[in-house]
Structure 1
Amino acid sequence: MNAMNPPDTRQPLETRTAVVTGAGSGIGRAVAAELLRTGWSVALAGRRAETLDETAALVPGAPSIAVPTDVSEPGEVTRLFSAVRDRFGRLDLLFNNAGTFGPGGVPFEELPYEAWRHVVDTNLNGAFLCAQAAYRQMKEQDPQGGRIINNGSISAHTPRPRSAAYTATKHALTGLTKALSLDGRPYRIACGQIDIGNAATDMTERMRTGIPQANGELAVEPVMDVADVARTVRHMAELPLEANVQFATVLATAMPYVGRG
Structure 2
Amino acid sequence: MSTSTLRTALVTGAGSGIGRACATALLKEGWQVVFVGRRAQALKEAIAAAGADGARGIALPCDVSDEHAVAALFENVRERCGRLDLLFNNAGVSLPNTLPDEYSAAAWRQAVDINLNGAFFCLSGAFRLMRAQQPGGGRIINNGSISAHAPRPGSMAYTATKHAITGLTRAAALDGRPFDIAVGQIDIGNVASDMTEKMARGVPQADGSVRPEARMDMQAVVDTFMAMARLPLSANVLFMTVMATRMPFVGRG
Please give the range of the TM-score, normalised by the shorter of the 2 chains.
Answer: over 0.9
Aligned match of 1:254: 246
Aligned match of 1:159: 151
User: Is 2:161 the counterpart of 1:169?
Assistant: yes
Paired residue for 1:93, among 77, 86, 89?
A: 86
Among all aligned residue pairs of Structure 1 and Structure 2, give the percentage whose two residues are the same amino acid: 59
1:254 is paired with a residue whose SS is coil
Amino acid across the alignment from 1:67: L
- Provide the aligned length of Structure 1 versus Structure 2: 251
Moved more, 148-157 or 52-61: 52-61
In 2, the alpha carbon distance for the partners of 1:177 and 1:200 equals 25
Superposition map of 1:45-60 within 5 A? 45-60=36-51
Paired residue for 1:219, among 177, 200, 211?
A: 211
Paired residue for 1:30, among 16, 21, 43?
A: 21
- Decide whether aligned partners of structure 1 residues 180 and 203 sit closer, same or farther in structure 2, where only a CA change above 3 A counts: same
Q: Does structure 2 retain, via aligned residues, the 8 Å contact 1:96–1:149?
A: yes
Superposition map of 1:221-236 within 5 A? 221-236=213-228
- TM-fit CA distance, 1:226: 1.1
Describe the superposition over 1:114-163 as per-residue Cα deviations: whole angstroms up to 9, x where unpaired: 10000000000000000000000000000000000000000000000000
Q: Does structure 1 retain, via aligned residues, the 8 Å contact 2:216–2:243?
A: yes
- Decide whether aligned partners of structure 1 residues 183 and 97 sit closer, same or farther in structure 2, where only a CA change above 3 A counts: same
In 2, the alpha carbon distance for the partners of 1:19 and 1:240 equals 18
Paired residue for 1:19, among 10, 27, 31?
A: 10
Q: Does structure 1 retain, via aligned residues, the 8 Å contact 2:27–2:52?
A: no
In 1, the alpha carbon distance for the partners of 2:212 and 2:5 equals 43
Output the TM-score relative to the length of structure 2.
Answer: 0.97
Contiguous gaps of at least 5 residues in structure 2 = none
Aligned match of 1:79: 72
1:30 is paired with a residue whose SS is helix
In 2, the alpha carbon distance for the partners of 1:113 and 1:228 equals 36
- TM-fit CA distance, 1:19: 0.4
- Runs of 4+ that moved beyond 3 A: 11-14
In 2, the alpha carbon distance for the partners of 1:79 and 1:66 equals 14
Describe the superposition over 1:3-54 as per-residue Cα deviations: whole angstroms up to 9, x where unpaired: xxxxxxx354432110000001110011001111111110000000111111
In 2, the alpha carbon distance for the partners of 1:11 and 1:124 equals 33
- TM-fit CA distance, 1:258: 0.3
